């Protein structure tokens, strides 16, 4: 599970939709009281920003013509985790040609 926390306009459809699914997975783990320690230690999620991030993803999903009907369940919000968005932007561009193109288009 990973929150990229990069500009949603600079993500390809696959990564946009994938991160959206993963926000739901993170909340599911939190509500089931499953450990997310490893994700926090690796800087992959920010619990306190899940709702805000989900809303940005959902808005972009809709703007691209996809339907968004999955509201995020309630969960206990705690100030946990820290993501390096700049590092993630570089990693996403390294992994995905389409995301790299979108990043270059926005310059």
At 94, the pLDDT band (50, 70, 90 cuts) reads very high
Beta strands in the chain (DSSP E): none
Residue 107 has pLDDT above 80, yes or no: no
99 has pLDDT over 90: yes
Residue 97, pLDDT score:
97
Closest-CA residue to 93 (of 107, 73, 78, 80): 107
User: For the chain, what are the domain ranges?
Assistant: 8-105
Q: Tens digit of pLDDT for each residue in 58-84?
A: 999 999 999 999 999 999 999 999 999
Residue 37 has pLDDT above 90, yes or no: yes
Q: Is the pLDDT assigned to residue 42 strictly greater than 90?
A: yes
pLDDT at 40 over 90: yes
Give me the pLDDT at residue 20, please: 98
Distance CA 61, CA 11 (A): 11
Residue 106 pLDDT more than 90?
A: no
């Amino acid at each position: 599970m990973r929150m990229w926390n990069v500009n949603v306009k600079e993500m390809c459809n696959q990564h946009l939709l994938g991160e959206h699914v993963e926000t739901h997975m993170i909340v599911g783990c939190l509500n089931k009281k499953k450990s997310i320690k490893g994700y926090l230690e690796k800087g992959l999620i920010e619990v306190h920003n899940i709702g805000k991030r989900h809303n940005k993803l959902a808005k972009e999903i809709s703007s691209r013509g996809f339907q968004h009907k999955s509201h995020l369940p309630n969960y206990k919000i705690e100030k946990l985790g820290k993501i390096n968005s700049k590092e993630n932007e570089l990693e996403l561009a390294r992994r995905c040609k389409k995301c790299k193109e979108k990043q270059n288009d926005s310059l």
